Chains A and B, each alone.
Chain A
């Protein structure tokens, strides 16, 4: 009985298409993948106050090889400030321990930052490019610095973290929303 089940499963595997959405990709083309689902999402408030020490709000592992040599990470996040002043309040995105981006709320009226950016593998699982890694808080615009390049080995499991940091301890900031998607392209 068990043998029959395994044999049946084997036959199903042989006859089934290679991808989960009934799409078989023979070589380079991978289009037609209509589903975008987050690899990681957290929409509950994470607050830090009365500390100037960086606090990790989210930490998870991206399995090695998930992106593929030409894949990307798509990161969206929203932070808010409980204190509207010019003190720097940062969120810090790290992948494999490397800071990808450190956007800051730092103008007197700033109460919110919405971020939307990608990290692209550059035909290699250990070479990446993204928007500048500085404190700028705008996603789709011009920058006065060069794009950020990295040498993170995405072929192995790597930790992704989102940290929050107040420059002045008495300030308050919140991570309101975070999503990360892995757009796989071998």
Chain B
């Protein structure tokens, strides 16, 4: 009798729990709430770590990416905030290393804080990666980038460390890690089961890990280099894919991230992204060796109306620009092509598409 009562109470709580916690279809203030408890970073810390009175390179954040978790086309997105206690022209270098290889280093001389985001993509293999901004001095994460891009050969089939370090050029300076977060987007990865020995000792998996549920997940991951034909001023398609009809739902968002490398000179190079034949984003860049951009396109409480980045002569992504957003009308309830083209303003220049990533965040 006692156990029956316990089970009854427990059962009742389970039946009612989804009404309280599982907010997938909950509306707050008339606007949709899609279940905050579905989201979790792979790794996150915002405990300040200070490095001062030393010029040695010092690790301020570290995590391990379990082998096999990324798959052949998965990617990592690292977001960090750093700060300096003194603003001066002394060298202060921040480095991100994956599997011991230097993904990104940037040198700050006169700023007080920095917000940095890095995308590391596996390139059709668990043992090859690319990422924007290899070892340059540019602070920006998205935009026109000088210096070589990261071409990695980290074996992600086995556990690999992902670390952030800082070093002061002058020992009396003082640097802080303010926050460090890693999110992971597996792609083309076999479903993980409890018997898959890729997780750490503190985690077990019961059943199959849902990797393509109705949330924010990659739809297109293409890291195959595609170079526009030589001596051509025409628009050339370097990436294309299909956005399945209805995948965004009426309030969903696509996030598009791309990277190119190109002839570094003052000539303009253009990139255009079209959804269902409509231009959703167009940029131009010059004087850079590679270029990284990201933008979002959202359905506007409708399957047939979208808001997106628009057309700009500037290469920046998350900033203030002199353009209006693009308001387009494409029927997203049916399959639609998403196409990325590039073109040169001088025929002898070259431009190569290196990465084209489309993530979908579904919202009804």
Contact = CB atoms under 8 A, between A and B. Distances in A.
A19 B140 CA distance: 37
B45 interface: yes
A12 interface: yes
A179 B361 contact: yes
A67 B267 CA distance: 47
B253 A185 contact: no
B217 A185 contact: no
Interface stretch (A92-100, A115-123, A163-171): A115-123
Interface residues of A, number: 94
B330 interface: no
Interface in B73-124: 79, 81, 83, 87, 108, 111-117
Given A71-B44, A176-B325, A34 B204 contact: no
B10 A10 contact: yes
B172 interface: no
Contact of A22 (B7, B114, B208): B208
Interface residues of B, number: 101
A53 interface: no
Nearest to B38: A35
Interface centre among A12, A84, A140 (most CB of B within 10 A): A140
Contact of A122 (B38, B47, B111, B317): B47
B14 to A, nearest CB: 4
Given A9-B11, A31-B42, A131-B81, A142 B22 contact: no
B31 A60 contact: yes
A30 B299 contact: no
A23 B359 CA distance: 22
Interface in B283-308: 295-296, 298-301, 307
A9 B307 contact: no
Interface stretch (B179-187, B270-278, B331-339): B179-187
A110 B320 contact: yes
Contact of A58 (B31, B114, B186, B199): B31
Nearest to B217: A34
Nearest to B187: A34
A62 to B, nearest CB: 8
B81 A35 contact: no
Interface in B1-46: 4, 6-8, 10-15, 22, 24, 28-29, 31-46
19 contacts: A7-B7, A17-B206, A20-B22, A23-B206, A26-B202, A33-B39, A34-B211, A41-B253, A43-B253, A70-B44, A72-B46, A114-B295, A115-B318, A118-B179, A140-B142, A142-B139, A144-B87, A145-B113, A177-B253
Given A39-B36, A112-B321, A120-B181, 11 more contacts: A10-B8, A43-B298, A45-B300, A70-B44, A70-B46, A112-B324, A114-B317, A114-B318, A120-B44, A128-B46, A141-B114
